[in-house]
A and B are shown apart, each in its own frame.
Chain A
Amino acid sequence: MKYINIDKKSWASGLENLYENYRLFGPVKNNKHHVFKELSKGELPDLNYLNTLLSPKSIVFPQSETMFEYSLDESKEDHHILKEINKDYSPRALIGIRPCDAASFLLVKRNFDTPEYKDPYWLSAYEATIFIGLACSSPCSTCFCTSAGCGPFHEDGLDLLLVDEGKNFIAKILTPRGENFIKSAGWETEADPTAAEKIIKDMKIKAEEKIASFVSTDQLKNKSTTRLYDAPFWEEIAFACINCGTCTYACPTCWCFDIQDEVSKSSGLRMRNWDSCMFPLFTLHGTGYNPRNTKVQRVRQRFMHKLKYYVDKYSDGIQCVGCGRCIRLCPVNIDIRRVCDIMNNYGSRSRLET
């Protein structure tokens, strides 16, 4: 494994060099909070941040994305023919992404890249992206990444991990793409691998010790799906929920979308937009019948998908990386940590069972 020392004095000039080969995206503070956005030349990402308000999933999976355009004007030869929109899939780098968010892309990939279906938009954008992670030294109180199969120094899904040492970053190169990125920036000072490894290991232990919240997930797989589905606790869990889209829109691992045509005069666009299982419209049939017509059913769906169906289908943990955004942003304080524990403990004797 190769380690590079990046003196912060050469950070800006390195980024400057990178513009030649990449579109750069990074966290920037708008007037209130941090968002991931494309950096214009000379603009620096603000790496002194906890995490972005919403997840960076939109860089690969925009909230609204046009797929085709068409004309309804019958005097035109190509009327009513869907035509692909040209998109910019040139290399892009997501700089300063947190390890939980990086891991979320691998998880979401399971949905967009299957032997049967390959989502061309998501995959092209994903393949064009390299992930430059920033290790977390001060996790938030709502982060529970270590019990969601992830962690503040987790490397899965990253091409490079930056560790902030104050005056410099240690960059741990994880893939050939990460190596190219470093070369392209012109950062060349190799760090002594044994020393770098030791520093990172110590910082990692410290960071993990700071994680203050946990969920237990060990029993989810053994539980009977129908018993969980029929459990009496859903009414109480769902009571406060207002069925907004906040939790799912903020979540890095929520992948659902809806396809819509928008026509103005004789030209039309076919686009896809984020959708949410919290919305009644999500499951409304053309007949007017809605199989998930109540709030309780919708709330149950969100948690059953993340914490049971996904767990059973992929045998690789929960559909959640523990970023804590849904907890921080839910307007009525519905907390996935609490729900996860209730589900995990259901049926074994527990005070949470009610």
Chain B
Amino acid sequence: MSDYTAKIKEISARLLKEEKVEMVIGFRKGTVPMMNEPCFVKTPEDIKKLVWDSNCGINLANYLTGRKEKIGIIAKGCDSRNIVTHIIENKIKREQLLIIGVPCKGMIDKNKIISMFENEINEVSENEENIIVKGEGFEKTLNKNDVLQENCKICIHRNPAIYDELAADLLDEQKDIDRYEDVRKIEAMAPEDKWKYFEDLLSPCIRCYACRNACPLCYCPTCFVDESKPQWVGKSIDPTDTRTFHFLRAYHCAGRCTDCGACERACPMGIKVRIFTKKLEKDCLELYGWEAGLSLDERPPLDTYRPDDPEDFIK
């Protein structure tokens, strides 16, 4: 990954020096293992803090909303698709951006790795294929592919959808991936089992909204759960309100979600919230042949009407 970092630094330094951008948005090394912190860099001297490794799972498109500057932004496949969505939805202008595309080899699942060890992990390093985990009295080498985030394992758009610069050569995309095995399992459940499944899934939710706030799609000035005149959703941790939040949020992401996994990664309670948005992603693909964020020239399915849109679900 050090070659990625070097290239990112080189491009960022050039863009700042030539005053093509006022800031570059990227990652700096985190203060705890398996965490990097989104940051901005405004001067060539600050470039040294930029890093790239398998802990850059936060979606940086989230940091573009409504900004006015000329920005260089580091974008892996999913980030770039959310940037496309942001541009289509007028949250940022294409001309404001210089996109430093990163062909992405996947981000590692911090929660999964933590849960594999009894003791605290003090240090995590990586090389091309492996993740090396160290703690008091233990050291273990894990195969990176075994500990990728769930969404990265099934990602079919690792290369950025749009970019102005590239931090590495484009990768071969993963082929023959079944993206919806988990969704189909739930679709096949009897209604009561489905209900029980959702109930169990959401029972640890503390309504902190980290999932929503980590998501680049959730930029509404006032989210429906925060509306107080009128108030649509209760503020306690009553399961009905919690479910309402999750179901509605998922629908608001229909045809826009890129399965970047930022929501799931952000959840402090380890709730697999992507299952909701994935169901709608599947529906959009099956009903409209749509995948979000691949092109600037096409409008998303929920804001277009086509005479041949399927309608047999209207009963």
Please give the residue numbers on chain A whose beta carbons come within 8 Å of chain B beta carbons, in ascending order.
30, 32-33, 50, 53-54, 63-64, 138, 140-142, 236, 239-240, 242-246, 249-250, 258, 260, 262, 271, 273, 276, 279-281, 284, 327-329, 331-335, 337-338
Contacts and interface: CB of A to CB of B under 8 A. Distances in A.
A331 B210 contact: yes
Classify the interface of chain A: helix, strand, loop or mixed. loop
Contacts of B270: 32-33
Interface residues of B, number: 40
Interface of B: 30-32, 35-40, 58, 62-63, 111, 115, 120, 122, 136, 204, 206-210, 212-214, 222, 226, 228, 234-238, 265-270
Given A141-B32, A249-B208, A333-B32, 6 more contacts: A140-B120, A142-B32, A242-B62, A244-B208, A281-B226, A333-B35
B208 A333 contact: no
6 contacts: A64-B236, A245-B206, A249-B208, A271-B236, A281-B226, A333-B37
Nearest to B31: A335
Contacts of A142: 32
Nearest to A262: B234
Contact of B235 (A54, A243, A250, A258): A258
A272 to B, nearest CB: 9
B120 A331 contact: no
Contact of B266 (A279, A280, A327, A331): A331
Contacts of B40: 236, 239
A147 to B, nearest CB: 16
Contacts of A329: 268
* B63, B136, B204 — most chain A CB neighbours (10 Å): B204
B31 A327 contact: yes
7 shortest A-B CB distances, which residue pairs?
A331-B266, A244-B210, A64-B236, A242-B213, A245-B208, A333-B37, A240-B38
B266 A242 contact: yes
A242 B115 contact: no
Contacts of A243: 213
Contacts of A54: 206, 268
Nearest to A337: B31
